[in-house]
Amino acid sequence: MRNYEIEIQKRVEFIRNVLKNAGAKGVIYGNSGGKDCTLVGVLCKMACENTIGIIMPCGSSQNYTSDKSDAEIVAKQYNIETRIIDLAAVQNEFVKNISVTTKLNNSAIANIAPRLRMTALYAIAASENLIVAGTSNKSERYMGYFTKWGDGACDFNPIGDLTVTEIYEFLRFLKVPNSIIEKAPSGGLFDGQTDEKEMGVSYASIDEFLFSGNANEKDKAIIERFHKTSEHKRKMPIIFE
């Protein structure tokens, strides 16, 4: 287990240096009420008083209930400024207009919400001289389980080196509400959606593979396939030379 007292010091210093180098007045991030954004929000608040969490419900009833409630609980506990932007109507109108030219599949529709959220974050950031904090962890990034130019886009990421296992350890150290730690990881992209169900492998298996290289044959095949096919997400666009 990491020494999370030291981890806090190092990450707070990192965030402050990013802010200073960017000449920014504060930090903005998407607060979905999940484990990753909770840790990001707490660390950013420790580093910068002007930290703003944006709750952006869009398309899933969970966004309006447990996700919103958990996001508000954390924000209140750590005195993080909170704003709510309902993007459901924007998404519906967007899908309606795009559908005139093509039939969108479920994957295409699911990825619209993260991109709308990132558009909202950057619009506010540009208007208020803020920098956008990313909330993707190491396990997700290895699997490519994030939306390219959506939740994968940010100016800096203070938790991108931490596996899901370590995220939970860090949250327990910080004594965040159990509702955050105990609920199934989910992007809340549609009702009933969970990360592990969608990937077909547990974060415990992914993290064991990242720590030791070990996994059962089935899980290893899934992990390696996800990593290989998502390589383009972890790189800048390929430029012809």
Residue 181, domain member (yes or no): yes
- Pairing label, strands 26-30, 51-55: parallel
Residue 240, domain member (yes or no): no
Residue 75, domain member (yes or no): yes
pLDDT by residue (tens digit) across 72-110?
999 999 999 999 999 999 999 999 999 999 999 999 999
pTM of the model: 0.94
Residue 104, domain member (yes or no): yes
Residue 109 sits in a domain whose CATH number is: 3.40.50.620
Q: If pLDDT is split at 50, 70 and 90, which confidence band does 28 have? A: very high
Q: Is the pLDDT score of 70 beyond 80?
A: yes
Residue 239, domain member (yes or no): no
pLDDT by residue (tens digit) across 184-222?
888 777 777 889 999 999 999 999 999 999 999 999 999
pLDDT, mean of residues 41-50: 98
Say how far apart CA 49 and CA 108 lie, in whole Å.
37
CB 187 within 8 A of CB 139: no
Residue 241, domain member (yes or no): no
pLDDT by residue (tens digit) across 106-143?
999 999 999 999 999 999 999 999 999 999 999 999 99
Residue 65, domain member (yes or no): yes
Q: Is the pLDDT score of 30 beyond 80?
A: yes
CB 53 within 8 A of CB 132: no
Task: State which residues form the domain around 136.
Answer: 4-233
**Domain count of the fold of the chain:** 1
Residue 53, domain member (yes or no): yes
The residues near 237 (Cβ < 8 Å, ≥ 6 apart) are: none
Spatial strand order in the sheet of 26-30? 81-84, 51-55, 26-30, 130-132
Query: Could you give the 3-state DSSP secondary structure of residue 51?
Result: strand
